[in-house]
Structure 1
Amino acid sequence: MGRSASALEVERTLSAVAERALHLGARAGLDALVEATVRLTETSGAALYAGSRRVALAGLAPPVPARAHPQQMMKEGRTVLVLGEPCVDAADRQLLARLAALGSALLASQSREDASRAEQARLRQERMRMLELQSHRERVLARAAHDVRTPLLVLQGYIDMMTKGMAGVLTPSMQRYLERMGRAAAEMNVRLQRPPTEHAPVEDLRSLLSATFGPGRRTSARLELPTEPVRVRAPREALALLVRTLERLLVGAGASEMVLRLEAQDGARWRLSLQARAELPVPKRALESLERLARRLDAGLTVREAPEVALTMLLPGIPG
């Protein structure tokens, strides 16, 4: 090697690489690791291998582990750090072994990040599929309601005409039967005109909020929830998506000291209030997703971003 690295230099390098990986991801940390190795040792090149697969390279490519000299390699499990020239000094090899150990940890972190990205992609696809199914269901229901409403209006018209005596004199029994038929037809017409959310199952929002923002979670907040069930007539998928979007917004803003409060408002609505200290601006995409969800749930939404994040949402509830 061109030079020996001191213990202090290695410590500083480990801290810098770890910080870069923390902020930019494990991939950036792996690249920074091999670049720092070349800079510290002034070797012609360095590469990091996971088994026989090269995952990072800086400078000239050294030999693959199968052909490299044993003193060119520092191993940590299946992770191998290969230098361009042999390192014969035992103290230097001990220090460089710490870089190989960090490389092994970064590779494990990269595997977790890849798995997380794959899971997020799967969840996005599943969400899009569910939204598409819901949209198709709403279109089918709208067509069915229209097809049923048309003959229903014709029946109501004939019932009104017969009630007014346009078809001749009615006996008391006939008058009573027509009135019942008219009320049933009118009620059916009203039901057909209700939006799909009116028929959604009743959900208790407290369990979803506690599962996401309760103690031990990465977005834990001080929860102030009512003792009675929070009855929101909305699909559970929509409410779960609302809670996940709130979590994504807070994580993106680097939020801390969070307080989440839920209380009754005007008898038929629930007021969801969230306050937090933020280190970063509120992510635009998360905020746009939250606004779309608010429109979908017929909820009022107000957001203030400075000097702290303050969010208020009025959710339609069910009295009693």
Structure 2
Amino acid sequence: MERTVSVIAERALHHGARAGLDALVEAAVRLMETSGAALYAGGRRVALVGLEPPLPSRAHPLQLLKDGHTTLVLGEPCVETEDRQHLSRLAGLGSALLASLDREESARGESKRLRQERMRLRERLAHLERAWSRAAHDLRTPLLVMQGYIDMMNKGMAGVLTPSMQRYLERMARAASEMNVRLQQRPTGEDAPAEDSRPLLSATFAPGRYDSVRLELPSRPVRIRAPRSDLVLMIRAMERLLSGAGASEVVLRVEVPEGLETCRWIVQARTELPLPERARASLERMARRCSARMSVSEGAGLELTVVLPRLPD
């Protein structure tokens, strides 16, 4: 039995939790020499080998091995106590593999969202490049014409220049030269307009995802001086921190002090567990990337404050 569990775990490690679940059901069929077996999670079948056994609701009690929400169903009843102990271990391993499968699917979903975000950023960069090219093309020709006329006037081709005219021409030449230098510079991410942080917070802490979260957002936009991708990662780090601490009765308030180019994200919640160190370190790292200051207070509950730079209204 130990070797069987090791083989299943190794297969899950190298090929994923889905392959581990299939190997687990195959092992149950082989060990019990039954016609088939299936693994159910919350009433949903997740793995099947051989002939399909009865549904858990219709199967004989000796055909069922349960571990929490996980149920292993055999094609024929198993009456031997030792065999049922082995199957109980398989059912427990199935629960662990199902939890791992959920994490893998969540990671794939996160990877898909990051790919979409990267594509969006590439499209925006291409848009900035096209806008820069159009602006450079539209401005370069009139600047060259203006510089040509300035050179001609400095050479006296338009007559004698007075001191005032000379000063004006020098200013025009300096402005034209500075504009040419700016046209030679490529656009950077800092040229992109800042994102309103309210939709990002609402999308992550929406009522449909967190029933106990209350959002208190201002009526006007709150534009943060940080790339959108960094803001999204910081909000997700905040979400992982709350989830890892078992937070409930969460209040997320955004304050915009008058006369200051900063805003405050204040999170107050009741927690059941200590703050996970990895999630806290990730949030601190993302706060530094967004040039934000963060403070955490753990007493009767959690109070998290993040001060971020923003664009003035």
TM-score (norm 2): 0.60
Task: Pick from 105, 108, 115 the counterpart of residue 124 of structure 1.
Answer: 115
Q: Which residue of 2 aligns with 1:110?
A: 101
Q: CA deviation at 1:239?
A: 11
Query: Does the aligned pair in 1 maintain the 2:132–2:186 contact within 8 Å?
Result: no
Secondary structure (helix, strand or coil) at the match of 2:66 reads strand
Task: Pick from 81, 85, 97 the counterpart of residue 90 of structure 1.
Answer: 81
Q: Which residue of 2 aligns with 1:41?
A: 32
Secondary structure (helix, strand or coil) at the match of 2:48 reads strand
Q: Deviation string for 1:210-240 (max 9, x for gaps)?
A: xxxxxxxxxxxxxxxxxxxxxxxxx968999
Secondary structure (helix, strand or coil) at the match of 2:65 reads strand
Q: Structure 2: how far apart are the matches of 1:198 and 1:51? A: 47
Q: Structure 2: how far apart are the matches of 1:94 and 1:238? A: 50
Residue segments in structure 2 that go unaligned for 5+ positions in a row: 193-225, 232-313
Q: Which residue of 2 aligns with 1:53?
A: 44
Query: Is 1:15 matched up with 2:32?
Result: no
Distance 1:112 1:35, change over 3 A: same
Q: CA deviation at 1:32?
A: 0.5
Query: Is 1:71 matched up with 2:83?
Result: no
Q: Deviation string for 1:97-148 (max 9, x for gaps)?
A: 0000001111111111111101110110011011101110121122012212
Residue segments in structure 1 that go unaligned for 5+ positions in a row: 1-9, 202-234, 241-320
Query: Does the aligned pair in 1 maintain the 2:25–2:38 contact within 8 Å?
Result: yes
Q: Which residue of 2 aligns with 1:142?
A: 133
Task: Pick from 144, 152, 167 the counterpart of residue 176 of structure 1.
Answer: 167
Secondary structure (helix, strand or coil) at the match of 1:191 reads helix
Q: Structure 2: how far apart are the matches of 1:148 and 1:110? A: 57
Q: Deviation string for 1:274-293 (max 9, x for gaps)?
A: xxxxxxxxxxxxxxxxxxxx
Higher alpha-carbon deviation: 13-22 or 192-201: 192-201
Question: Which aligned pairs between 1:207-246 and structure 2 lie closer than 5 A?
Answer: none
Q: Structure 2: how far apart are the matches of 1:63 and 1:18? A: 27
Secondary structure (helix, strand or coil) at the match of 2:39 reads strand
Query: Does the aligned pair in 1 maintain the 2:41–2:69 contact within 8 Å?
Result: yes
Query: Is 1:158 matched up with 2:149?
Result: yes
Q: Deviation string for 1:164-216 (max 9, x for gaps)?
A: 11111111221232122112211211111112249779xxxxxxxxxxxxxxx
Q: CA RMSD in A?
A: 2.3
Q: Which residue of 1 aligns with 2:208?
A: none
Q: Structure 1: how far apart are the matches of 2:227 and 2:124? A: 15
Q: Structure 1: how far apart are the matches of 2:107 and 2:164? A: 70
Q: Structure 1: how far apart are the matches of 2:30 and 2:81? A: 19
Q: Which residue of 1 aligns with 2:15?
A: 24
| AA of the residue aligned to 2:118 | R
Q: Which residue of 1 aligns with 2:244?
A: none
Aligned pair count reads 198
Q: Structure 1: how far apart are the matches of 2:77 and 2:127? A: 65
Query: Does the aligned pair in 1 maintain the 2:32–2:83 contact within 8 Å?
Result: no
Distance 1:165 1:239, change over 3 A: farther
Distance 1:73 1:238, change over 3 A: closer
Distance 1:69 1:20, change over 3 A: same
Secondary structure (helix, strand or coil) at the match of 2:7 reads helix
Q: Structure 1: how far apart are the matches of 2:190 and 2:55? A: 64
Higher alpha-carbon deviation: 48-57 or 189-198: 189-198
Secondary structure (helix, strand or coil) at the match of 2:47 reads strand
Q: Deviation string for 1:59-100 (max 9, x for gaps)?
A: 111111011000001000110001111011222111210000
| AA of the residue aligned to 1:99 | L
Q: Which residue of 1 aligns with 2:185?
A: 194
Q: Structure 1: how far apart are the matches of 2:177 and 2:8? A: 71
Q: Structure 2: how far apart are the matches of 1:26 and 1:154? A: 68
